[in-house]
A and B are shown apart, each in its own frame.
Chain A
């Protein structure tokens, strides 16, 4: 093999390796999200939510369930809870949707919903807020309790 061919082959290998290193590099991006409720939603209303679900859609997808005292029912007001979501997505948008249910995952028991959109970019850590501003008392009447004797 001629030296010129060897050099060209080596250059091609180096280019491939470099392209692999650059294109295959994943970096974690973190989204620190805070779920809040604000007027007219009251603490009494949100305390009736027994099952909460956070859907991540868009540049990444994930489903987060809060139940059995972990995040839901909410322990505080107006801060319901915070969570951190990590993703490799560095372009597009991430939509975080919070759904609070009276009993379980049933649309007829959907008490409150809210969403927020976060841009997926090179920023390592972004902070956002999901704010509940409405409450469906038809689906979640205040008298609904799930306490067991």
Chain B
């Protein structure tokens, strides 16, 4: 009688799957942790960008007169103008004024056109005097 085998084909396959899952989880933890190598690289760059500005002595382009650094009224006007220009078209009163004018104009044109068309076609026929006539006939009459 043969001794029982220590590992079957199925148990070895389960071990392989388990190992694969373990390696995958480890990789995921390494990638996701903030103290990963990529994060470390960012941390190393940060001090470079937050280095202190060169002193006034070193910045030859910056004027020494502080009045020149203060904002001028023209700058405020330009900033305000830029703010106005940044508004959407429907936020401007001119848009609504023009839109309202166009709407009123179209409505007036429709009604005025109908009235003009009616007038050009003779307008309203004279009411029939039924006391004097047996009936009224012809253009504009229902009979």
Contact = CB atoms under 8 A, between A and B. Distances in A.
A77 interface: no
A60 B134 contact: no
- If over half of B's interface residues share one DSSP class (helix, strand or loop), that class is named, otherwise mixed; here it is loop
B120 A86 contact: no
Nearest to B128: A84
B24 interface: no
A28 B125 contact: yes
- If over half of A's interface residues share one DSSP class (helix, strand or loop), that class is named, otherwise mixed; here it is strand
B121 interface: yes
Interface stretch (A37-45, A63-71, A129-137): A63-71
B34 interface: no
A117 B42 CA distance: 108
Nearest to A33: B133
B50 interface: no
B129 A84 contact: yes
Q: How large is the interface on B (under 10, 10 to 19, 20 to 34, 35 or more residues)?
A: 20 to 34
A64 B138 CA distance: 9
Interface string B27-66: 0000000000000000000000000000000000000000
B122 A84 contact: no
B121 to A, nearest CB: 5
Nearest to B129: A84
Contacts of A70: 134-135
B140 A64 contact: no
B82 interface: no
A81 B139 CA distance: 20
A64 B137 contact: yes
Interface string A71-93: 10000000001111111100000
Q: Which are the 4 A-B pairs with shortest beta-carbon distances? A: A86-B138, A26-B122, A71-B134, A81-B134
28 contacts: A21-B120, A25-B119, A25-B120, A26-B120, A27-B122, A28-B123, A28-B126, A28-B140, A30-B126, A60-B138, A60-B139, A62-B138, A71-B134, A71-B135, A81-B133, A81-B134, A82-B132, A83-B134, A83-B136, A83-B137, A84-B133, A84-B138, A85-B138, A86-B126, A86-B140, A86-B141, A88-B122, A88-B139
